[in-house]
Structure 1
Amino acid sequence: MDTYDDVVNGRRSIRGFTAEPVPRELVEEIIALAVRAPSSLNSQPWNFTVVTGEPLERIREGNTERMLAGVPESREFRMGEPYAGQHRERQVEIAKQLFGAMGIAREDAERRQDWVMRGFRQFDAPVSVVVTYDRELLGNDIAVFDCGAVTNALVNAAWSRGLGCVINSQGIMQSPVVREHAGIADDQVIQTCVAMGWPEESFPANGVVSRRRPVAEAARFVGFDD
């Protein structure tokens, strides 16, 4: 078993997967680890719908058809204004890393569009884990925070078992499609999904490691002796 440091420092977002199926028992094991994530007042608002096979293919097809037809997105969380300033710079930086790894030139509109569509297809992963929370908590930001915590735990637990993931809100941009084919009840709010599977080692984008802000930039320490 890897140490916690090995998992956290070694994990990457995986966007290319083999076709090898993921056993249900392994996903259950991963979720059992993930739900040890901290939760405000132990509320545990999260739920998981794990989708594979034909239902997942129907979600891919529905997402793709609706996006190509220009159907407006219908994600069930607030997006806010587009990123600007340093947040936009970081977004552009990782996009440049990914396009560079894949050899996609800036002027290659066809391949850039194909890359975007991969996200709507949940990167062709064999498994999609749709993370939802109880609708009675809609508007409660703590519930969303808790879902973020459990999703982080999920991708790290998967990595510790040899599986790759990417947290993929593009995959739920057409939430009615996901809700229909995954059978998600109306009492749930769709927060995000996680594409999961065995990493395709030869897929160039899988080697991309995003830059992280150093501690000196991200953290302030108050009341410590210098």
Structure 2
Amino acid sequence: MEFAKVLQRRRAVRHFNADPISVNTLHSIVAAAQQAPSWGDSQPWRVTIATGDTLARIKAAHRQRAQAGVKGHAELTAGTPTWPAASRENTQTWLTGIQAFLGDQAPQLDAIQADLFDAPVLVYLTIPQGSPAWSVYDLGAFGQTLMLAAADYGVASMPAYEIIKYPDIVRQFTELPADQLLVMGIALGHRQADRLNDYPAGRTDTHQILTIKD
């Protein structure tokens, strides 16, 4: 697929159908993501994927807590991040826009999120405990490359805090090593025909973020 089309296809999908993804396809997606750049070629990333019975157990435990309103406690940061004013404005624009777009269907978004987007695959990205900040950058590059690779294979994706909101649940059912820091989760699957997936999230005008000095 042409790269421009891959970029356009890679969008946040918030509701997946039940179609499975083969182990071979998952392996190919991760192998492609390994072409991501890395500081000093350190390649700090590790990938744990949950499917089948493991995923079902994770979803059941996650749903119970989410519906009970249990606060998340992700491992990467403590507390609520303080975003710069421009970022807060972007987030508020997105939130207002998607709620208006969904209308009466807006509450469904919370329910689908509690069900981890009904995804047939959850990908957990980790780096070693005590890694330098550069490794977080590397893992971000790896995660983006993974999602672009997935798009090239016709697989949709959704990176979300919700997926790593309760790290003890993830650790319990995936047996994630204690020396790994759980940083990010990405849902993979095929797009459900649902209005939840139709919101056209915008991007800041390039002129507002770009400076070129000659």
Assess same fold via TM > 0.5. Answer: yes
Pairing of 1:44-55 with structure 2 (within 5 A)? 44-55=43-54
Structure 1: 5+ residue runs without aligned partners?
A: 106-110
In the alignment, is residue 207 of structure 1 matched against residue 198 of structure 2? yes
In the alignment, is residue 156 of structure 1 matched against residue 155 of structure 2? no
Contact 2:159 2:186 in 1 (8 A): yes
For 1:61, the aligned partner's letter is A
Pairing of 1:129-208 with structure 2 (within 5 A)? 129-137=123-131, 140-200=132-192, 202-208=193-199
2:211 is aligned to 220
In the alignment, is residue 40 of structure 1 matched against residue 39 of structure 2? yes
Contact 1:50 1:129 in 2 (8 A): yes
Task: Find the aligned partners of 2:114 and 2:34 in 1 and give their Cα distance.
Answer: 27
Task: Find the aligned partners of 1:84 and 1:37 in 2 and give their Cα distance.
Answer: 28
Tell me the matched-pair count.
213
State TM-score, norm by structure 1. Answer: 0.87
State TM-score, norm by structure 2. Answer: 0.91
1:119 is aligned to 113
Task: Find the aligned partners of 1:24 and 1:90 in 2 and give their Cα distance.
Answer: 37
Contact 2:15 2:112 in 1 (8 A): no
Task: Find the aligned partners of 2:70 and 2:10 in 1 and give their Cα distance.
Answer: 34
**Deviation of residue 92 (structure 1)?**
2.1
Taking only the aligned residue pairs, the percentage that are identical comes to 26
Structure 2: 5+ residue runs without aligned partners?
A: none
In the alignment, is residue 88 of structure 1 matched against residue 91 of structure 2? no
Over the aligned positions, Cα root-mean-square deviation in angstroms equals 1.8
Task: Find the aligned partners of 1:52 and 1:148 in 2 and give their Cα distance.
Answer: 22
For 2:40, the aligned partner's letter is L
